[in-house]
Structure 1
Amino acid sequence: MKKILWIYLLLLVPTLTEILESGSLPVKPRDMITDVVMTIFMGILILIVYRGQRRLILMSETDELTRLKNRRAFQKELASAVARAHRLHITLSLAIIDVDQFKSINDSYGHHKGDRILAKIGKLLKDSVRSQVDTCYRIGGDEFAILLPAIDLRGAEGIDRRLEVLRDQCSELLKPYGSGLSVGVATLRKGESLDDLFRRADSHMFREKNAN
């Protein structure tokens, strides 16, 4: 938005410069009015285009069912978060979450019921994390992820509690369908790549799934 305002001001510079240099209004006020109107029109047009582009980007990175960010956004933001964590020497944790036996829910109760369950899980995920700090994603059919940046020891304990509450809430939701939730969490190690971080979190999730 600040960039748009700067562009708008730059469009006004020629007219303002003319007024300042002459010390008075232009000889033809009608020309000045035309310039100002055209400048305002161009500013509005640029703002409309900018907002339209932002809306398209948001739509392309949002999961339609859960309204969480999608896999495309996850891949981009995970890479950025890992690079930032290494550069600033801050912690970063990744949680991978999978709904157990979800295919059987779709097979037994229909995809409409399955979609409603996924939407509810998405809301539970979003409600369980730190607002404007952690980010939730739907990265597959029944698979979710949470990026958890800059967590100290106390924060890690808080995340563990919230994930435990999330498990309980989802278990209550999924129990009537013979399903549950498996969660794997990994914290970025020094020099570790984003692929290795993802693999460790995913491995922990599957270990819990196999134990259930």
Structure 2
Amino acid sequence: MKALLDRAYQSHHALEVIFSSLRWFFLVLSIVVFSIQYVAQPDFQKLMLFVLLVIFGFIYMGFSDYYLHKSPEGSKMYTTMTKGGPVFDFIAFSALIPLTGGLASPLFPLAYLIILHVAVYWRFLGGMIAAGLFTLVYSIIFFMQREEATSLHPFIDYFSAVLFLLLIGGLCGIIVSRERKHHSENSMLVEAANRDYLTNLLNHRSFQECLRKDLDNGVDFYLTLTDIDKFKSINDKYGHVMGDRVLRQIGDILSSFVPEKHGKVFRYGGEEFALILYYERQSEVTEVLEEIKQAVASHLFQCKEETFSVTMSFGMAKQNGENPGQLVEKVDMLLYEAKDSGRDRIVCAG
């Protein structure tokens, strides 16, 4: 449960799973409440309407759960079913309350939960609009039930309930907006802490965390260490500003050949880069590295009126149950072997 709540703080999907579970809980609760009331005061017309409402609920919630768990997050159908949830909730609530006692219905507090759900997506404006719609429903039921009311007391109850609905809508919107802003700012800080300021690649800290996590989880991957051949001579000849430009462009080239689903690219330090690649066969990894090597070698760098190119050397091995330090050391030795055997080449573990 704690893990689900932690994910809900960071993910709309986890939050929707919670709201979906609550819908099923309150559907069962509604059946229990209606059954108790029906036994005490049978009304066949209400029974038929309630059965239709329950069937409608089962159909919608079944479809919603299916797309919630089977559709890719962010797809059109996923978005329609999840963001349409509060609309379904409002319709079901508007039909359910008159069938379970009207103003005296024990299910009326569901309105506050639905307002919160709306505020999650549409923040303050959504919370206030939802509160306004529930106020309309409450007002219709109130004036239908209180036609003959002559005392002031029912109207005090009415205005108190309306005020509370509006306060809940406003406060939910404000709180959700503040939390979203805080989460966004926190995410930006975390992202900045995990990025190399020069190349915008993931940094050495991110590399160590990702490496440890993948090894702990038993993920199959290939680790590659690569660096720019004779980079010091570039700094000496063209200056450090040009050297920084070379690093940025090399980072762009590496990223262009490593899609997110197949791996990650890191600036390991200085002119050295690390790649964690998720491929099944070593031949696939070798092919990608060969394409990168050729792309780097053919890329021309411009410094004033002079152009030049660079090469890179690569060491690569598949993880075989080593700890992070052992794996990095093994691949680093392969990189040095590539350097010692002439540079501009790829050396793989036997």
Give the TM-score of the pair, scaled to structure 2: 0.51
Task: Give 1:177 deviation, angstroms.
Answer: 4.8
Task: Determine the structure 2 residue equivalent to 1:93.
Answer: 222
What is the correspondence of 1:29-48 to structure 2 with a 5 Å cutoff?
29-48=162-181
Q: Is the 8 A contact 2:315 2:335 kept in 1?
A: yes
Moved over 3 A (4+): 4-7, 22-27, 173-179
Matched, 1:211 2:344: no
Q: What is the rounded CA distance, in whole Å, between the counterparts of 2:339 and 2:269 in structure 1? A: 16
Deviations 1:29-48 (A, max 9, x none): 12321122011100111111
Superposed CA deviations along residues 10-38 of structure 1, whole A, max 9, x for unmatched, are xxxxxx9x996375576311232112201
Is residue 134 of structure 1 aligned with residue 263 of structure 2?
A: yes
The one-letter code matched in structure 2 to 1:121 is: I
Post-superposition offset of 1:174 = 7.1
Are the structure 2 counterparts of residues 117 and 22 from structure 1 closer, same or farther at C-alpha, using a change threshold of 3 Å?
Answer: closer
Secondary structure, aligned partner of 2:172: helix
Query: What is the Cα deviation at residue 126 of structure 1?
Result: 0.8
Aligned residue number for residue 164 of structure 1? 290
**For 1:76 and 1:182, how far apart are their aligned partners in 2?**
24
| Counterpart in the other structure of 1:182 | 313
Does 2:264 align with 1:152? no
User: How much does 1:179 deviate?
Assistant: 4.3
Q: Does the aligned pair in 1 maintain the 2:299–2:309 contact within 8 Å?
A: no
Q: Deviations over 1:84-128 (max 9, x none)?
A: 12xxxx522100011111111111101111111111111111111
What SS class does the counterpart of residue 45 from structure 1 fall into? Answer: helix
Structure showing greater Rg: 2
Instruction: Indicate how the Cα distance of structure 1 residues 114 and 19 shifts in structure 2: closer, same or farther if over 3 A, else same.
Output: farther
Distance change >3 Å, CA 36–CA 177, structure 1 → 2: same
Cα offset, 1:210, TM superposition: 1.3
Identify unmatched segments of 5+ residues in structure 2.
Answer: 1-6, 20-92, 94-102, 109-137, 140-156, 302-306, 343-350
Amino acid paired to 1:129 = V
Ranges in structure 1 where 5+ consecutive residues have no aligned partner: 10-15
Separation in 1, partners of 2:107, 2:257 = 62
Identify the residue that residue 199 of structure 1 maps to in structure 2.
329
The alpha-carbon distance between structure 1 residues 19 and 167, as it changes in their structure 2 partners (threshold 3 A), is: farther
2:97 alignment counterpart: none
TM-score by length of 1: 0.82
Alpha-carbon distance between aligned partners in 2 of 1:174 and 1:180, rounded to the nearest angstrom: 11
Task: Name the Cα RMSD after superposition.
Answer: 2.7
Closer, same or farther: CA 174–199 of 1 in aligned 2, 3 Å: farther
Residues in 1 aligned to 2:229 and 2:242: alpha-carbon distance in whole angstroms = 15
Equivalence map 1:2-151=2 (5 Å)? 2-3=8-9, 6=15, 21=106, 23=108, 27=158, 28=160, 29-85=162-218, 90-149=219-278, 151=279
Secondary structure at 1:64 match in 2: coil
Q: Report Cα offsets for 1:53-101 as digits up to 9, x if no partner.
A: 111100110112211100111111110011112xxxx522100011111
In 2, are the aligned partners of 1:184 and 1:205 still within 8 Å (CA)?
Answer: yes
Opposite residue 315 of structure 2, the aligned amino acid is G
Q: Look up the SS of the partner of 1:67 in the other structure.
A: coil
Letter in 2 for 1:186: A
Identity of aligned residues (%): 24
Query: Shift in Å at residue 182 of structure 1?
Result: 1.0
Q: C-alpha distance in 2, partners of 1:111/1:201? A: 28
For the residues of structure 2 that align with 1:19 and 1:51, how far apart are their CA atoms? 41
- Tell me which of the two structures has the higher relative contact order, counting C-alpha pairs closer than 8 angstroms and 6 or more residues apart: 1
